[in-house]
A and B are shown apart, each in its own frame.
Chain A
Amino acid sequence: QVQLVQSGAEVQRPGASVKVSCRASGYNFVIYDITWVRQAPGQGLEYMGWNSPYNGLTSYAQNFQDRVTMTTDTSTNTAYMELRSLTSDDTAVYYCARRAPYYYDSSAYYPNDYWGQGTLITVSS
């Protein structure tokens, strides 16, 4: 079965960087993109961007463009999200999710059909 298993919770200092991993199993990792989404405590979902393991293509949300890097390692079926210059506003649960094509009425749609369990990143001095 499809599984996405994320790395464990971390505490980081303001100004530091964090790198979250997401290991995939149960499907062909190369052909599905990975999306990253975060959720601050008590808040809604915030889209960060996606990355293609197939060709390395990335698309980042404008809010994160300057300080996020999303990568994949196809030898270990693992996706990574690195966020730099952390502030307390970056305290959140970070999720990876599979971005899969679904076809309906001759159009393709790319919702997120499988999700990791989430990784809590706390930014505190």
Chain B
Amino acid sequence: QLTQSPSFLSASVGDRVTMTCRASQGISNFLAWYQQKPGKAPSLLIYAASTLHSGVPSRFSGGGAGTEFTLTISSLQPEDFATYYCQQLNTYPFGGGTKVEI
């Protein structure tokens, strides 16, 4: 089980934002983060908890291990307003998502 918080996050362009994903049991660093925009398929941002997927801007960063993980956007850009999901890479469930809104 993965629990994401907050469910909704209000922010402005240029803000630094951080969201959390908590696992019900330790999963080492077997975690991925995805971004999903309305009406579109998710896209991979990060795997192994902190490794940026090819082509993902460096303002995105992931951290954590065990049961607590974070996704940080260092300076929010207009195209970053979306919903973010974590996924456990052992048994593959998703968290409930964090929607980043203006």
Contacts and interface: CB of A to CB of B under 8 A. Distances in A.
A76 interface: no
Given A45-B42, A116-B41, A118-B41, A111 B94 contact: no
Interface in B48-72: 48, 51, 53
Q: How large is the interface on A (under 10, 10 to 19, 20 to 34, 35 or more residues)?
A: 20 to 34
Contacts, number: 61
A27 B28 CA distance: 30
Contacts of A47: 87, 92-94
- By secondary structure, the B interface counts as loop
A112 B86 CA distance: 12
Nearest to A113: B44
Contacts of A109: 30, 32, 47-48, 89
B43 interface: yes
Contacts of B94: 37, 44-47
Interface of A: 35, 37, 44-47, 50, 61, 95, 97, 102, 104-105, 107, 109-113, 115-118
Interface of B: 29-30, 32, 34, 36, 41-44, 47-48, 51, 53, 85, 87, 89, 92-97
